A and B are shown apart, each in its own frame.
Chain A
């Protein structure tokens, strides 16, 4: 893959030309958190963030969007959520998250809502530095060699830029004089040093390869009930997870001259209505059963199908779940250790 160099002072001039082509979205500050937002003022872009509140899936499958509208004459496909976008600042784990969604939405019955949005979206990745919640090294999603158009590794006074696609190459060609095609030995050394240091910075490790067996062997372990008792069934873990894709469907009747529409809304298997069927039968009435499904999907099912977990190690469930049910604490519990989590302490602290 071609790698070029971009001096830091040329970064905004580069954004300036490319953002004339399509909407530019990037991580910006919101309160003490970060979100992906449309940016026109490049100074708003946060170059050194960890994870954003929501992963970039929100731009490809928005939390709620119309799939089609209808009136007496028939239906009209609605693709209004699709627009040309350039997403800058996507970290390797989130690019892996998108590749995971690709497998689902582009497999078998291809989903045009996802595919069309994906085709119009350019991915400009950005290197990052782990905090105590990141464990992308354990999922091997801290490195990336596909799924982006350009990838920027931040080496303080310059970027190394990987050119991952012909559209990425087109972007460079809009302002070719900003980029240096030859890298010096010291540039390369800088990168190698950066990578070694970065790899050492991961503090959380999870042995994912052991998880499929442990999920099977510990399916009935009592800690599931304890986690289930603590779970608020709020669905936040699914909202923030870059590989959670479940959705609900809702029809809205025509109102005030507007046609009726069928919407798609983010959903979570942790919510109680999720598996209810006619006649009031619910296959997963208990929160413990629903958590087991969530973790079967993350730690086991995907591994059997694709040889890797569907968790990309972004750490969002670690920082989001109010009762500390997350991939780290659950895998600790699966390994038979004390996960040192709120939900695990709960039974002894809250005496009935």
Chain B
């Protein structure tokens, strides 16, 4: 699956490449933004990725963990990540200041099939931190706007302060060339002007969907998938045009450590992007 985009490096694929944190700032209470640059310019240029792929980030001494690339490949040079504090590696990352050194290797995984998606309508459904991989694909579509049909975004978060890149998405609403609907489960500010309710309550707001021509993407917390998939199916979007990224524990990213195994596939090689059809015929996928 999409083997051509895997950079099969000569040498040792387990050695991280030194990189610096160019910028980092909090996005929500427990999510931070990281902008990263490889020390070695050749490495920066060699790092060619697709939206939906991920990288392994090392904080030496704390360990290594997988994170989706949040930046679009159409803006090369700097890599961006949205990272939630969850444990030791992410905790150590949160303690690092700008200009600190980390290690990065990748890109890994299949990514979204952007070649097949070209020319089609794109419907993106985001829940919470699901924005991490979907921001990459959305910005890629917008950077190559003429290559895609209708672009629609449905984005839900728990509350206004938890809506990652809130300003970016409010700005998108002003653009005339895409449709963007935002929702929070609960408004604790009293000043939220958009919808209140779970993300599936945004589906009725969508303008007419042409299902045969649509790629529908979803990423969010595990509980969300079932409900969003039901909406996609209601819209008659073909099962192999419904794409989602899934999370598994990963230790290597390159199909060796076994941690991400499901049935007879490795999420790190054959995923993390799967179609709804994959999910239906593979056990344990969601």
Residues of A with Cβ closer than 8 Å to B? 67-68, 70, 74-75, 77, 104-105, 107-113, 219, 245-254, 260, 262, 267, 269, 274-279, 281, 283-284, 289, 293, 296-297, 300-302, 304-305
User: Which residue of the partner chain B has the closest CB to A79?
Assistant: B12
Query: What 1/0 mask marks residues of chain B from 3 to 21 whose CB sits below 8 Å from any chain A CB?
Result: 0001010011111101000
Chain A residues with CB below 8 A from B16, complex form: 75
B55-63, B115-123, B235-243: which one contacts chain A? B55-63
Contact A281 B255, CB 8 Å, known A75-B15, A304-B264 = no
Q: Is the CB of B257 within 8 A of A253?
A: no
Chain B residues with CB below 8 A from A283, complex form: 248, 262, 284
Chain A residues with CB below 8 A from B11, complex form: 112
A interface, over-half SS: mixed
- Shortest beta-carbon distance from A115 to chain B in Å: 10
* Most A Cβ at <10 Å: residue of B62, B86, B103, B258: B258
Chain A residues with CB below 8 A from B249, complex form: 274-277
Q: Is the CB of B261 within 8 A of A300?
A: no
Tell me if B76 is interfacial: C-beta within 8 Å of chain A.
Answer: no
Chain A residues with CB below 8 A from B258, complex form: 245-247, 267, 269
Contact A249 B257, CB 8 Å, known A67-B14, A112-B12 = yes
Q: Is the CB of B247 within 8 A of A277?
A: yes
Q: In the complex, what distance in Å separates the CA atom of A111 from the CA atom of B64?
A: 17
User: Which residue of the partner chain A has the closest CB to B103?
Assistant: A75
Ordered by A's residue number, 11 sampled pairs between the chains whose C-beta atoms are within 8 Å are: A68-B14, A75-B60, A112-B11, A112-B13, A251-B63, A267-B258, A276-B249, A277-B249, A278-B84, A279-B221, A283-B262
Q: Is the CB of A108 within 8 A of B60?
A: no
Chain B residues with CB below 8 A from A297, complex form: 261, 264
Tell me if B256 is interfacial: C-beta within 8 Å of chain A.
Answer: yes
Q: In the complex, what distance in Å separates the CA atom of A297 from the CA atom of B284?
A: 14
Closest 6 CB pairs of A and B: A301-B264, A246-B258, A109-B254, A278-B86, A253-B61, A109-B13
Q: In the complex, what distance in Å separates the CA atom of A281 from the CA atom of B86?
A: 12
Chain A residues with CB below 8 A from B6, complex form: 108-109
Chain B residues with CB below 8 A from A70, complex form: 60-61
Q: Is the CB of A109 within 8 A of B255?
A: yes
- Shortest beta-carbon distance from A233 to chain B in Å: 16
Contact A68 B263, CB 8 Å, known A108-B8, A247-B251 = no
Q: Is the CB of B248 within 8 A of A279?
A: no
Q: Is the CB of A77 within 8 A of B15?
A: yes
Residues of B1-52 whose CB lies within 8 A of A: 6, 8, 11-16, 18
User: Which residue of the partner chain A has the closest CB to B85?
Assistant: A278
User: Which residue of the partner chain A has the closest CB to B17?
Assistant: A75
Q: Is the CB of A108 within 8 A of B255?
A: yes
Chain A residues with CB below 8 A from B247, complex form: 277-278
- Shortest beta-carbon distance from B164 to chain A in Å: 16
Q: Is the CB of A260 within 8 A of B259?
A: no
Q: Is the CB of B259 within 8 A of A246?
A: yes
Tell me if B205 is interfacial: C-beta within 8 Å of chain A.
Answer: no
| Other A-B pairs beyond A278-B84, A289-B284, 14, CB < 8 Å | A104-B256, A109-B6, A109-B255, A112-B12, A249-B252, A251-B61, A252-B61, A260-B61, A267-B257, A277-B249, A278-B86, A278-B87, A283-B284, A293-B261
Q: In the complex, what distance in Å separates the CA atom of A262 from the CA atom of B251?
A: 12
A77 is contacted by which of B12, B63, B64, B84 (Cβ under 8 Å)?
A: B12
* Most A Cβ at <10 Å: residue of B12, B247, B257: B12
Q: In the complex, what distance in Å separates the CA atom of A70 from the CA atom of B102?
A: 12
Q: In the complex, what distance in Å separates the CA atom of A169 from the CA atom of B106?
A: 41
User: Which residue of the partner chain A has the closest CB to B248?
Assistant: A277
Q: In the complex, what distance in Å separates the CA atom of A289 from the CA atom of B18?
A: 39
User: Which residue of the partner chain B has the closest CB to A70?
Assistant: B60
- Shortest beta-carbon distance from B219 to chain A in Å: 14
User: Which residue of the partner chain B has the closest CB to A259?
Assistant: B60
User: Which residue of the partner chain B has the closest CB to A107?
Assistant: B255
* Most A Cβ at <10 Å: residue of B61, B222, B255, B259: B259
Chain B residues with CB below 8 A from A301, complex form: 263-264
Tell me if B157 is interfacial: C-beta within 8 Å of chain A.
Answer: no
Q: Is the CB of A249 within 8 A of B64?
A: yes
Chain B residues with CB below 8 A from A278, complex form: 84, 86-87, 90, 247
Q: In the complex, what distance in Å separates the CA atom of A105 from the CA atom of B13?
A: 12
Contact A260 B284, CB 8 Å, known A275-B249, A301-B264 = no
Q: In the complex, what distance in Å separates the CA atom of A297 from the CA atom of B266?
A: 11
